[in-house]
Structures are given as structure tokens and as C-alpha cells.
Amino acid sequence: MTTIQHLVARSCRRGQFNSVFNSAGRSKRFFSNHVSNTLNSATILPKPRLDYRAISESIVLKSHNAFNRKFPLPVGALQSIVRSYAEQKETSSQLDAKRHARSILGDRIHTIKDPSEKQVVLTEAKILKAEITQLEDKLAAIEEALLGLALHLPNDTHPDVPIGPEDAATILSTHGPPPIPPSTNRDHVTLGRALRLFDFEAGALVTGSSWYYLRGDAAFLENALTNYAISIALKHGFEFVMTPDVVRADIARRCGFQPRDHNSDNPVSQMYHIAESHPELVLSGTAEIPIGGMFANRIFVENTLPVKVVGFGRSFRAEAGARGADTRGLYRVHQFSKVELFVVCEEDASAHFLEEIRQVQTEIFEGLGIPFRILDMPTEELGASAYRKYDVEAWMPGRGTWGEISSTSNCTDYQARRLHIRYRRPAPSQSPLSTCDSSHSQVTVPFAHTLNGTAAAIPRLIIALLENGVRFSDDGKPTAIDLPVILKPFWLGTSDLVRWV
């Protein structure tokens, strides 16, 4: 049974069957808006190569996958893909026949001696040329519309992924000391102000709400956490890179992120655009995007995969959110530092590397001595690119709840098809079987699989360490912070506030 068939069977058992199909069919308004926004943005890469045949042969299963993920599809999108794909094949066949006929006419022209007969053939060739041009234009329009529709589909979903919303997540393991009782006295915002670690007021004055300054030991802690996480990744064979914080919006889109689109009827505000003078550029939402882009349009030679990278970058999020417990203080901000793990591997190895990234993350967080747990996230929590996703949550007693500090996603070939990341198989394994593109040409260079995972999302780790490690005086005032001694080699300067444990 295929991955999607598993999801269909399980969703039917749970009474969740609900087709995304709608008889309204293809919407011209959707075509014009989406194709324009998706394909006409500045790009230097070829168009994504999606598997239209696989989609057409499993539209019911694709529909269930989208439903289980609560993924909004345009009305009639799947049926339109089927119709457009059939139309593409028919038009392509007609075009091939016309081109073949033109080739035959060309050969005839060179052998004809009679001028009148030659003129007749030249007239036929002229008519044929016009028909070919018309078919080429028609095929280009069909392919553009087909791609615009197919880009709306999310990745498939691993059969073991729980179905449902966030509370359907499965706890895979728990780590660290037992959680201490919740206490508002441990709220990181209150502690940070009392210990002069944060300055939210200056951040709001200089930039706006959800911007901040880290001061003194909090700034030292960011540096220590960054270098500590990188050191663990290096020990596991990851190569360190510093990424640009500005990327093309097209690269972000191909990675599965939706930058703000001012031409859309319903603008999405995940990322910041640079300025009107550079509308094609956005501030990166995560180092995953520039790292993925680093491998775009590449074919890896035999036996060079996997490639494992740990990158450091600033992450910019325009949708930090309204005020509330989930956005208080450092928990959800517009800018933060992040250490990111990224793997490019062969298509049959991504499940293994998902577990390897999870092990690296576990080592990093166990070294910090905080209570945390690892969850297998359910369908409604998967982003467009994720086939399976693990989240790591740390206990934050000041917030009185678990808070996400990390995630790991296996994106299979979702990003690779859009970014054109492929590899050559070792000679003994070469086969005519290949991933399918729109022309069904047989290839010997399949698409790679990509994975990403957070090694350290700095502000949330600061929350967890501060709320779990704060020390109080007899009269209840915060006086010191217990930090894991594993960070001491990465600490700059001296501190009367920090106690190494």
C-alpha cells in the first residue's frame, strides 16, 4: 500500500473522508493571478519539474493528503491538472507530428527539380510552420497553467504521521531532568528586565513591537549557544557555512516558503521584502533557504552524497503575531539567530538522515541539561515541503508550558524538484527508471532528497535556560543563573551573574 493509500484508509476509518473535488472546474481568475505571481517573479532557475503523471494517476489520494493536512487547494485544482496534463500530452503529440512532417518536407525540397512543384511544397512548408508556431504557443500556455496548479500541492505524507491538529502529535521520547512546577516568578520577560538581560522597550522604540536587544550575559549566551551547537554538528561531519540573509523570493518559494506577494488577492506575510527598488529580494526566514539555494541547479557526481551542512544566519519573520502568551518576550520575534542543519542525500537515504539529524539535536539539547521532549508532528502541522516532521519542545516553567525549540523535516524531493538538485547514480545501479517530468523523458539523474533541522533557535533556548536555571534570593528576587558547564568554553568575558553547573 502506498503512502497516500495509508492516509486514505486511516482518514476513512476516522470519518474524515472529504474530497477536495468541486464541479466548478478551473477558475480563469485563479489561473491569471497565480501563474503571474508564481512564474513571473525574478528567477534565474529553470521552471520546477513536477511529476504530473503521478498526480494525474492518484488525484483521489492527493485530495485526501491535502485534506488531512488542512491544505487549501484552489477549487477544482486536481481535476484541472488531470485535464491540462491530458491536453499537454495531446498537444505535444500533435506538435511532434507537425515537426516530423516539416522535416520530411525539408528533405523533399532539396530533391525537387521542377520549380512549380517546389513552390507547392514551399507553400505547404509555410502553412506547416504557422501551425507549429500556433501549437508551440498553445503548449507553452498549457504548461504554464499546469505548473501553476501543481505548485499548489503539498508534499506527500509519511504513513506513520498522526492525522489531525497539533494535539494529535505523538511523543517519541522525553529527556533531561523532571520539569519543575510552573511559576510566574520564572517568566523570562520579568527575569530579563530584573537582571538587565533584555531591552524590549528600546527595541520597540528603534524598530517596533517584537524587536529587542540582548544585553550583557544574554548576548554572551547567544554567542556561546551558537558556537556550542556548531561544534556538535562539526563533530558529526557537517560542514560549516555562513549564509546570506537576503535571498531571491523565487528561491524562498521553491523551498516551500511563501514571501509576501503584493499582487495577490490574499497577501501572505511570512517574509520582509527589501525595498521597492529590489522587489525580487526578501530577508531570509531561515538559513534553510539560502543553504538549499546553494545547491540549486546542480547535479552531484557519483558517490558524493550525502552533503551535510550546518549554517548560521539571521531569521526574519514578518508574522511575529499579536500580543499574548505565545508571543510574549523572546518567544515569537521578528528577528533571531539560528543554527540550521541541512542534508542533501540520495532518494533512498532520507529516512536514515532524518533520524541522524534527530540524534544530533538530541545531543545538543541533552548537553544543555533542560527538560525536553521530541514529537512526531501530525498532518495539520506539516508545512508544504515536509513529508515528515519532528518537533523538539523544552519545558518553560515561566510560561507554564512546553515550547518549541527545534524542528526537523524530511522534504524528500519536494525542494529538489523545484531547485533542480539531482545526482548521478553509481554505475552498477543505473536504471532507465527515473522520476518523471512533464515530458516523461527517461533520465539517469534522479532528484535528490533534502532535509533540514534546527540545531539552535537562540531566543527560545535562552528562554528555556533562563526560566529553568534562575536562582532566587531568600526574599524571592532573581540573583543568578545556573548554566550548563558545557557552554563555558564558548563564553566570552566574565560574569558575576552566571553559575556553571
CATH number (domain holding residue 454): 3.30.930.10
Looking at residue 127, which CATH number applies to its domain? 1.10.287.40
Q: Which of 241, 245, 255, 260 shows the shortest CA–CA distance to 293? A: 255
The answer as to whether 346 is a domain residue is yes
Residue 67 is assigned to a ligand binding site: no
Q: Which helix H or strand E contains 191, and what residues bound it?
A: helix 188-194
| Domain membership flag for residue 130 | yes
Is 290 inside a domain boundary? yes
Residues 157 and 65: beta-carbon distance below 8 Å: yes
Residue that finishes a domain, picked among 97, 127, 152: 152
**Residues 100 and 214 both lie in one domain:** no
Residue 473: what residue type? S
Pair 340, 458: CB distance under 8 Å: no
Same domain for 137 and 172, yes or no, is no
Give the number of other Cβ atoms within 10 Å of residue 181's Cβ: 7
Place of cell 529553568: 468
The answer on 394 and 350 residing in a single domain is yes
Q: Is 335 annotated to bind ligand?
A: yes
Whether 78 and 210 map to the same domain: the answer is: no
Contacts of 134 (CB under 8 A, 6+ apart): none
The reply to whether 160 falls in a domain is no
The number of folded domains in the chain is 2
Residue 179 lies in a domain: yes
Q: Consult the annotation and say whether 405 binds a ligand.
A: yes
381 marked ligand binding residue: no
319 annotated to bind ligand? yes
103 is in an annotated binding site: no
Q: Which residue in this structure is represented by grid cell 544543555? A: 368
286 appears as a binding residue in the annotation = yes
Annotated binding residue at 340?
Answer: yes
Question: In 3D, which of 446, 51, 18, 455 has the Cα closest to residue 235?
Answer: 455
Q: Is 430 annotated as a binding residue?
A: no
**88 and 184 assigned to the same domain:** no
Residues 125 and 235 in one domain: no
Show the cell assigned to 34.
497565480
- Domain-located, residue 282: yes
**Do 316 and 448 belong to one domain?**
yes
Pairing of β 239-242 and β 246-248: unpaired
Q: Is residue 437 part of a domain?
A: no
Cα 214–216–220 angle (5° rounding)? 80
Say if residue 121 carries a ligand binding annotation. Answer: no
pTM of the model: 0.85
- Report the distance separating Cα 177 and Cα 328, nearest Å: 25
| 316 and 212 within one domain | yes
Q: Are residues 379 and 419 in the same domain?
A: yes
Q: Is 257 annotated as a binding residue?
A: no
133 is in an annotated binding site: no
In this structure, the answer to whether residues 345 and 283 fall within a common structural domain is: yes
Contact 490, 227 (CB under 8 A): yes
Q: Is 117 among the annotated ligand-binding positions?
A: no
**Spatial distance between the Cα atoms of 32 and 26, rounded to a whole number of angstroms:** 11
CB 297 within 8 A of CB 46: yes
Q: Give the end of a domain, one of 95, 128, 152.
A: 152
The gap between the terminal CA atoms of the chain, to the nearest Å, is 51
Asked if residue 134 belongs to a known ligand binding site, the reply is: no
Range of the domain at 422: 166-259+269-426+444-500
Per-residue pLDDT of the chain (501 residues; tens, 9 = 90+): 444 344 334 444 443 333 333 333 333 333 334 444 444 456 789 999 999 999 999 999 999 999 999 988 888 889 999 999 999 999 999 999 999 988 888 877 778 777 887 788 788 888 989 999 999 999 999 999 999 999 999 999 999 999 999 999 999 999 999 999 999 999 999 999 999 999 999 999 999 999 999 999 999 999 999 999 999 999 999 999 999 999 999 999 999 987 644 444 444 457 888 877 788 899 999 999 999 999 999 999 988 999 999 999 999 998 755 455 567 899 999 999 999 999 999 999 999 999 999 999 999 999 999 999 999 999 999 999 999 999 999 999 999 999 999 999 999 999 999 999 999 986 555 444 444 444 444 447 999 999 999 999 999 999 999 999 999 999 999 999 999 999 999 999 888 999 999
